[in-house]
Amino acid sequence: MTFYDPAGKVPDFNVPQPQSSGPPKLVVPHAAPEGDTDVDSNELYGSGLLIPGQSYTFTFPKPGVYSYVCVVHAPQGMFGTITVAAAEQPTKPASLPNTGAGGSESPLLPLLAGALVLMLLGMLSWRIARRKLP
């Protein structure tokens, strides 16, 4: 993948160089990585030619639209753009009114516990009262 200035010429995959005898020599000018891995302008940045299993990483420190081309497949139309948006600033969540509820304790738990105690006391007193009946 090669990032380049879209206002300029697409980088050539190979460039024929004349020789004193014989056919021209084909030079592949962008076979090795070029530029930096931090793409921050429309200058030439390239991964070079990669073989299967290899990878190359680019980073985009500034927002913008970056045009790229596969110099090997440019005649087949392998062009694209990457749009980098500015990072959104984290927003502070709106504060909610303090209702007195929340935190680690739930107001429902003491109510349920109290209801259970009253129910057990009621069952116990009913049983005691029933035993005393002749």
The answer to whether the pTM exceeds 0.85 is no
Question: How many angstroms separate the CA atoms of 36 and 45, rounded?
Answer: 6
Ranges of each domain in the chain: 1-86
CB neighbour list of residue 61: distance below 8 Å, 6 or more residues apart? 38, 40
**Beta carbons of 62 and 84 less than 8 angstroms apart:** yes
Q: What end-to-end distance do the CA atoms of the chain give, in Å?
A: 98
Name the nearest CA neighbour of 67 among 40, 37, 42.
Answer: 42
Q: Does position 119 have pLDDT exceeding 70, yes or no?
A: yes
Question: In one letter, which amino acid is 64?
Answer: G
What pLDDT digit, counting tens, does each position of 2-57 carry?
Answer: 888 888 888 888 889 998 888 888 888 888 888 888 888 878 888 888 888 888 88
Highest mean pLDDT among 39-48, 78-87, 107-116: 78-87
